[in-house]
Structure 1
């Protein structure tokens, strides 16, 4: 997935905050949206340090076990600090991360059972048909799912602005 993580995060955050109390919405909305794009921060390492030698979905930012552990640590910290706001924000952020991982799973693969297994789970293999790997994804039929997500997010944004 290339262009739809942020729009999907927006859609998810809107759904998540739809019935939330007004004073809690910011604790849910922003962390969810940031979490929905955060795993791809590893692209900096991918290009600048690793020089594209390894699939970026093999880095820690795309490992569900890492995010479950980070969430657990943040919840323990929230308990120690007696901070419901920290617990809400951390849960929302990790929710956004898991949305990202779910969206990456069908077409790019995620190692859901790591460290028990190194197997990546995916539904469709996108063959390398272009010299730059990104174009192989963009011209593949699966890219239509990203376009649909982007259109849905844009329509929701326009509807919300019109109501305001």
Structure 2
């Protein structure tokens, strides 16, 4: 997924904003945490390009382990459930939700190691055939890119519709 992660993080934060309104977190900070969670797994791209020299698929690095995001979700949910001051827990929870949504979106056409680090086997719902050069054209010209455009359009719609009280 190329352009869908950031808007997906925005959508999740925007849709959950009212449920977390009484936590004391500003709408702007809550949405920022959701957006950062939506793109956080791809921070491993710095390692991929600058350290690993593109030797391993970046989805095999720990920021792309779904079990990590499930663990963060569980811990942040428990923190939110039992904390007296819920602001930090709410930010961690929306961040974790964004990261887990990232895993779900990457699973559409990208290999995700769902049981890493215990099982070294990638899973993807669909395969993008390598037909065009450069490599990224294969993804942009694939039908799944329409899903990304729809996610982006939804985020723009939410952003333009009701203004969030900041």
**Greater helix content:** 1
State if a TM-score over 0.5 links the two structures: yes
Contact 1:106 1:121 in 2 (8 A): no
Give the match for residue 153 of structure 2.
151
2:48 matches 1:46: yes
Q: How many residues align?
A: 163
1:14-163 alignment, distance < 5 Å: 14-21=14-21, 23-26=24-27, 28-70=30-72, 83-161=85-163
Task: Give per-residue Cα distances to partners, 1:43-90, cap 9 Å, x unaligned.
Answer: 1111222222221111111002223445566678889x9653222221
- TM-score, L = length of structure 1: 0.84
Q: Distance in 2 between matches of 1:86 and 1:47?
A: 32
In structure 2, list runs of 5 or more residues that go unmatched: none
Q: Distance in 2 between matches of 1:163 and 1:88?
A: 17
Aligned to 2:162, the other structure's residue is in SS state: helix
Aligned to 1:24, the other structure's residue is in SS state: coil
Q: 1:134 offset after TM fit, Å?
A: 1.5
Q: Distance in 2 between matches of 1:34 and 1:162?
A: 18
Q: Distance in 2 between matches of 1:70 and 1:159?
A: 31
Q: Distance in 2 between matches of 1:66 and 1:120?
A: 16
Over aligned residue pairs, what C-alpha RMSD do you find?
A: 2.9
Q: 1:13 offset after TM fit, Å?
A: 0.7
Contact 2:8 2:98 in 1 (8 A): no
